[in-house]
Structure 1
Amino acid sequence: MKSIVHDESGSADVLRLTERPVPEPGPGEVRIRVVVSAVNPTDWKSRSGGMGAASGTEMVPNQDGSGVIDAVGDGVGGLAVGDRVWVTLAAYQRPDSGTAQEYTVVPVERVFVLPDGAGFALGAAVGIPAITAHRALTVAEDGPTRLGPGALDGRVVLVAGGAGAVGNAAIQLARWSGATVIATVSSDAKGALATSAGAHHVVTYGGSANVAAAVRAIVPDGVDLVVEVAAGANAATNAAVLKPRGVVAIYANNGDHPFDLDVRQHMVLNARLQFVLLYTLPSRQLRTAGDDINAAIVAGAYRVGDDAGLPLHDFALDRTADAHRAVEDGATGKVIITVADD
């Protein structure tokens, strides 16, 4: 089978196309014929050595993807040969199981049936972004643990970076669940994407713009929950717009600004700061998130493409290095790799 591999850390130039044997699934595993692979920031950061140096053995990049199950191991229930599926965390602690190849073998707990009518591009695009957004939206002390119609009724959600993949997912899932959604973006063009995703209000930052004042003008009582992509840069703004007992769910610190907090201000608010990373979530929470995401897909509330505020950028498997470069260079939307015809 054709695989993209690297055995050293570095730029996208370390990625190369090679032939590898088709793997066999073990107990509790399934083999997937990959149709579409997706690239997330975590993929290029891992490849470049930002999450630890390469081991010297061949590693296959990309955590997310979609395809068709073509073999199952012993003890597998609920999934069968021929099922259309999406997968996430495929390469976590399994360096040769990334989705940038024609077949991959993964544990069943990382695999979800792709709803009827949903395309493989959508299946590949959910994964890490959507589950991250689901986790961020369900960490409030008195908030819901599941998402769906009515789950966030009466709540105000502020999504920082509303044109990014996680931001887009958070907007769609929060809107589906009944929240009033405000998104912050860096340009009018990105604002149009956030609006297409379903944001009720968009605030553009930069220059002399006072984001906190703009948010308070929309919701004078403040926001219940912030889905945060740039914790350091936005710390003061978040404190200024948060309701008492509000939550800031932090999944990244884009820009690498120092994360300095006014401790007393957050104490007065009884604020909660919740850090979010999927790799250390228990499998039951991955399953819950996947089930809710699938329900949103079935309801037509979770989509990809221009009209959903998430433009797709499609590459062939032999251009995986270019796909990685696109994400690393900040492409707006979702970068996917078509591995095979569906």
Structure 2
Amino acid sequence: LKLLMRTVTNYFIVNLALSDLLIAAFNTLFNFIYASHNVWYFGKEFCRFQNFFPITAMFVSIYSMTAIAADRYMAIIYPFKPKLSAVSTKVIIGIIWLVAFGLAFPQCFYAEIMIDNGMTKCIVAWPDDVGRKHQLMYQIIVIALIYLLPLIVMFVAYSIIGITLWSSTVPGDHTNRIYYHRQVTAKKKFVRTMVIVVITFAVCWLPYHLYFILGSFREDIYQQKYIQQVYLAVFLLAMSSTMYNPVIYCCLNQRFRSGFRLAFQWCPCIKATEGDKLKLIYPSTSQLIRNQPSVFIGFRAGWTFSANPFLLLPTKKCRFESIKIYQKIMWLLSNCLS
């Protein structure tokens, strides 16, 4: 079961979940306290850390969503091209973290403690001579690489995927059409899920970036009466984007719900079923069992096996190893007949 879950997309989703968890742990709480009290209580070293690691996690989260979009694009538009190996996927994830570290480093480098009217502040103090110019340049680069570029990549990828799936024709005979229809339906559901994730990301982060762009052009904006409340609102909206992802996945993805129940089945209030395991091992099996088809689509396109082989599937009392044996038998049959 664990090996079956180690797909390229799932690697990126785990990376996305990890970065979102780090944002929630290190960024949201401390920045909320700072924005609410307008006083930094946590010292100089943590000020530097706060301007480096949580920001890195934010950038990783965004690039992970972009990587998922690119992976789905290649898998659906070019299905016969070799997939990324586990090693290549891990290398890409490592590059994502390195790029995020590089983009976050300037804020850490210039972060310092300042006393203003007796209150301690954690600020990013750019050099006096060209500070404003560098700050504006940095904000533009960040918005281009962390907001606009990922949005363009995700929008283009999911647009092409959506057009391809919704305009595709169903090949083959009736039995192949049933199988093909289920595959396309599953892919459409995934695309809908990710489009909602992208829209949520765009809406949540737009006010945050606009706030800092306006501040780069007009520094007096930070002296306005309710600017602290405005910053707190746009900050919480941006940080809340990490909270919506698991909610969206849980609401729209049946396999995600099954995986969640299996992962947390130790909790007394959560009960995993045999069907949950079946959905993760062989996603379409449970649907096929409910429909009780008269034929089974072989592992090689064009081959069908008559009768009703799903009568051979184990009941709840049987061990799940029999499913794997069953799948191997069907695969061997398809190879022998080809």
TM over 0.5: no
Q: Which of structures 1 and 2 has the larger relative contact order (alpha carbons within 8 angstroms, sep 6+)?
A: 1
Larger Rg: 2
More strand by share: 1
TM-score by length of 1: 0.20
More helix by share: 2
